[in-house]
Each structure stands twice: as C-alpha cells, then as structure tokens.
Amino acid sequence: YTVEVMAHDGENMFTSERHTIILDTESNEAPMTAGGNLEIHLDPMAVYDNVTDTWSLQLTCGTFTHLGQPPVNVTWKTPNGTTLKSSSYKDGNFSLLLPNTSKGGNYVCSLDPQSPAASCLATSSPLLNKGVVALDDKDFCTLIYEAEKEENHRRVSTLTDQNRNLTDEVNNLTNQVTNLTDLATNLTDLAANLMNLTVHELQQ
C-alpha cells in the first residue's frame, strides 16, 4: 500500500511525501488444537497465591498445538457477561484464575475475534465455536476446601519433620554436653592426682 501526501506552503510551493507499507497476507496461519475444537476444563486442584494468601479455581482452554501467526489469544466471559483476558498461557492452554468469591454459572472461552490468525479459519471451523463449562457454587467450596485440607496436611507434615530434626539436634547437643562434662570430670581428677603427686614428692 502506498500513500502520497502533498502539502502547500502558501507560496505556491508544493511538497510531497510518499510512504509505502507491504502487508504479507500469506504469512497469516490459522491456529490448531489437539482435538480440533476449544476444550474448557476446571482444574481439579485450586491454586494458592502466596502474596494474597488466597485460593483460586483455574479454568483452562485449549489444547493448542499451534497458536497461528500472529499468535492467537482467547477471551473469557463470566456468567454475568464480563469479558476477561487470560491469566496465563502454558503447555498449549490458556488459563483463567477465578477468586474464591466467584459465582457459579456458565463460563465461556472463545478465540479473540480481533486476532488476524482467527480470520484464517474457515467459517465452518469448530474452533470458532465457544467452549463452555458450567460451574456450581459448591464447586468453589468443595475444591477450595480440599485444597486447604491438602495444604494443611502438607504444612503439618513439614512441621512434624522440622520438629523431628530439631529433636535430633537437641539430642546431639545433649550428648555433646554429656561428653564435655565427662571430659571435664576426667580433667579435674587428673589435676587432683597431679597435685597429690607433687605434694608427695615435696614431702620426700
């Protein structure tokens, strides 16, 4: 594409500038997924945030084997109609973290309609269909409860191991103190014997 701009400086002098841009439409590549469509899943384990000390549920949308060119993205829609961006992308899946205050309902993932790569798909492509998962309020409660229970179990196990290690250290220190006490006793006895021997020699 070429654009030429001509300007008049008020003194019958004209200047022009020409700018050209080349668009390679053949470089666009359509995205692909392992199953040929968008699959959305609720991860069986809640995700813990160390910074906020809160738990979240994680939805994944994919699984992409090729993101297309330029890389495509997905958008999410909550039950109340709010559109959200993905929280992360890993191993072919876009993820959305849902705080534990989220409500149940249908959560939807779909290709970003503004992505050039999405325009390379045929109008009949299953990838243009939306992925939908229905969540119940109890899903949030159950998964977060299980995650908290597992985390508490892990923490108790860690504290138990630490306590065992500390007990072993205390026992080692106690043994060292006992050995030092025995050594001090032996040195005291040796000093007494040497003193008695010296006195005996002086008396002779």
Q: What is the pLDDT of residues 144-188, one digit of tens each?
A: 888 888 888 888 899 999 999 999 999 999 999 999 999 999 999
Residue found by looking up tokens 């229905």 in the block = 134
Q: Are 84 and 95 within 8 A, CB to CB? A: no
User: Residues 110-128: pLDDT tens digits?
Assistant: 998 888 888 888 889 999 9
Give the per-residue pLDDT at 96: 97
Give the per-residue pLDDT at 11: 64
Instruction: Give the span between the Cα atoms of 101 and 21, in whole angstroms.
Output: 49
Give the per-residue pLDDT at 5: 66
* C-beta atoms surrounding 117 within 10 Å: 20
pLDDT band at 201 (very low <50, low <70, confident <90, very high): confident
Q: Are 124 and 37 within 8 A, CB to CB? A: no
Those residues whose C-beta lies under 8 Å from the C-beta of residue 54, and which sit 6 or more positions away, are 48, 99, 100
Q: Both tokens of residue 80?
A: 């109340």
- 18 pLDDT higher than 80: no
Give the per-residue pLDDT at 105: 94
pLDDT band at 204 (very low <50, low <70, confident <90, very high): low
Instruction: Give the span between the Cα atoms of 29 and 119, in whole angstroms.
Output: 9
**If you average pLDDT over every residue of the chain, what do you get?**
86
Give the per-residue pLDDT at 162: 93
User: Residues 70-91: pLDDT tens digits?
Assistant: 899 999 999 999 999 999 999 9
Q: Both tokens of residue 22?
A: 């080349």
Instruction: Give the span between the Cα atoms of 100 and 85, in whole angstroms.
Output: 18
Global pTM reads: 0.64
Q: Are 140 and 59 within 8 A, CB to CB? A: no
Most confident of 26-30, 138-142, 165-169: 165-169
Q: Both tokens of residue 126?
A: 């299953």
Q: Both tokens of residue 138?
A: 């109890």
Instruction: Give the span between the Cα atoms of 32 and 117, in whole angstroms.
Output: 10
User: Residues 93-107: pLDDT tens digits?
Assistant: 999 999 988 889 999
Q: Both tokens of residue 134?
A: 């229905």
